[in-house]
Amino acid sequence: MALICGNLWVEFGIMLIGDYVGMLPIPLDLSNFDVNYFNLSPFGWKWRRPSLLGSFITRTVKSAYNLLAQSQWNDRDNFWWLAWSWKGPQSVKIFIWLVFHNRLKTRGELASRHLNIDSSCERCGYGLENTIHVLRDCPFSKAVWFWLLRGHNHQHFFEANLAGWMSKNLQDSNNFLGGNLWRVTFGIAIWRLWFRHNQFIFTKAFWANNNITMDIKVRTAEIQRSNLCSLTAGMARVERWIGWTAPLWPWVKLNTDGAKKSSGNVGVGGLICDYRGNRGIWQAGYNVNLGVCSVTSAELWGLFHGLSIAWQYGFCRVQVEIDSKCVMQLVSSSNTPVNEHFTLIQAIKNLLRRDWLIKVDHIYRKANVAADFPASYSFSFPLGLHYFQSIPSNMINILNNDVYGVAHSHLVLP
């Protein structure tokens, strides 16, 4: 690359002529020239304003890459903008980007890479299973789209090619369900259809069309609430001191939490304490090594086992604290969404409806450290539920900090 000391060439420079970029040594007869001399040429370098490190050229890596790659892609194409401006989880944005690139590992894609695999669709038998077939044209996927588009004119929905179909449905101006709501619904729908497709391929699991439609609508509603909530409205945060607070006698407090390793293994844990005579009294503790599952599923299992243990111990007044607002909303809602957690959520609600007093509150993660320890500790145990009749030695300092009111600074919304 070109190294410039003040305004003089040193050793090597970049020559950029037309569509050719190359590295050439600076000729000896030019090595002591003032670089400003070359500004007289119509192809001369353009300069930024001087800085402490001298003057630098505006030829950047980005501009060089754009020049070399112009024949392969157009940086003005709105495909990329539609993917990255989609309002939702980053994982779904990446998925949309992969769909635009036609990079899903369908059977047709794998066969095109000379793998010994049948390229036909395993679900419907169509001759070529490609991205547009899995996400739109397969009869199983098409039935879901009919459910989502009921009451709307979908005459041209199944006609465009992959790029055109994606672009049209990720535009704000689309009339289905009204602009941005349809953008979010469409992104979630293709993501969940791909998920369902893979579940069928690898586990032969089958979802009824109304169930996956309900799952898409519930997830879309959650994202829409998140997009509209004050958390994303630019509100200033304030500093608060966050810490665990003891329950009032005769209440006991159940704290639960989940932990996940990079390998995908998930564990949950929890503890039950009361507060008498200025000291925390340990009542029970547990953890569960769940193997591989979703974080939401793990948090729900942690709550279910914690409530079951509290009932077995005969506690009549239980204050539950969890640091997952998603789980809190799932178990507090009057309606249970039809998704993969439906049975577990119903079991938790049945426990909550028993003859006892229950309060379910949200707690910040920094104040839930005592529950995080048994959750992380669960990876040292075999799969399944494990009880702690006494306090694990490594938890004593954590519990003492909670009892003595040790707090942590945290920025929160007012």
Q: Return the pLDDT at 51.
A: 41
Q: In angstroms, how far apart are the furthest CA atoms of the chain?
A: 95
Q: Return the pLDDT at 61.
A: 65
**Do the strands 317-322 and 252-260 form a parallel or antiparallel pair, or are they unpaired?**
parallel
Do 153 and 105 lie in a common domain? yes
Do 143 and 283 lie in a common domain? no
Do 113 and 165 lie in a common domain? yes
Q: Residue 303 has which token pair?
A: 């709550």
Closest of 376, 322, 379 to residue 348, by C-alpha? 322
Domain-located, residue 355:
yes
Do 55 and 114 lie in a common domain? no
Q: Return the pLDDT at 399.
A: 80
Do 161 and 308 lie in a common domain? no
Number of domains in the chain: 3
Do 326 and 384 lie in a common domain? yes
Interatomic CA distance for residues 90 and 187, integer angstroms? 11
Do 279 and 342 lie in a common domain? yes
Beta carbons of 150 and 177 less than 8 angstroms apart: no
Q: Return the pLDDT at 369.
A: 83
Torsion of CA 163, 210, 151, 121, to 10 degrees: 30
pTM: 0.48
Do 299 and 407 lie in a common domain? yes
In this structure, what are the phi and psi dihedrals at residue 327, rounded to the nearest 5 degrees?
-65, -40
242 burial type by CB count under 10 A (0-12 exposed, 13-18 middle, 19+ buried): middle
Per DSSP, the three-state class of 160 is coil
CB under 8 Å to 131, separation ≥6 — which residues?
Answer: 99, 102, 104, 106, 109, 162
For the four alpha carbons of 61, 67, 71 and 75, in that order, the dihedral sign comes to: positive
Beta carbons of 272 and 284 less than 8 angstroms apart: yes
Interatomic CA distance for residues 273 and 368, integer angstroms? 13
Domain-located, residue 236:
no
Beta carbons of 166 and 96 less than 8 angstroms apart: yes
Domain-located, residue 345:
yes
Q: Return the pLDDT at 205.
A: 79
Q: Which domain holds residue 389?
A: 241-412
Helix-then-strand count for the chain, H and E: 14, 12
Do 266 and 386 lie in a common domain? yes
Q: Residue 213: count other Cβ atoms within 10 Å of its Cβ.
A: 21
The domain boundary residue, chosen from 69, 100, 126: 69
Domain-located, residue 259:
yes
| Omega before 414 within 30 of 0, i.e. cis | no
For the four alpha carbons of 21, 26, 29 and 32, in that order, the dihedral sign comes to: positive
Domain-located, residue 129:
yes
The domain boundary residue, chosen from 69, 96, 116: 69
Beta carbons of 302 and 256 less than 8 angstroms apart: yes
Q: Residue 208 has which token pair?
A: 């009824």
Residue 241 DSSP one-character state: E
Do 185 and 318 lie in a common domain? no
CB under 8 Å to 215, separation ≥6 — which residues?
Answer: 192, 207, 337, 338, 339, 340
Beta carbons of 35 and 3 less than 8 angstroms apart: no
In this structure, what are the phi and psi dihedrals at residue 274, rounded to the nearest 5 degrees?
-120, -170
R_g over Cα of the chain? 29
Element (DSSP H or E) covering residue 317: strand 317-322
Domain-located, residue 374:
yes
CATH of residue 313's domain is 3.30.420.10
Do 87 and 202 lie in a common domain? yes
Domain-located, residue 110:
yes
Do 268 and 381 lie in a common domain? yes
The domain boundary residue, chosen from 69, 89, 124: 69
Interatomic CA distance for residues 138 and 121, integer angstroms? 8
Domain-located, residue 132:
yes
- Tens of pLDDT along the chain (414 residues) come to 444 444 444 444 444 434 444 455 555 655 555 555 555 444 444 444 444 444 444 456 666 666 665 555 554 456 677 888 888 888 999 999 999 888 899 999 999 888 998 999 988 889 899 999 999 999 999 999 988 887 677 778 888 889 889 888 888 555 555 556 888 899 999 999 999 999 888 888 777 877 888 888 888 888 887 776 645 455 666 777 877 877 888 899 999 988 888 777 889 998 888 875 445 577 888 999 998 888 888 899 999 999 999 999 999 999 999 988 888 888 888 877 777 788 899 999 999 999 999 999 888 888 888 888 888 888 888 898 988 888 888 888 888 777 777 777 777 666
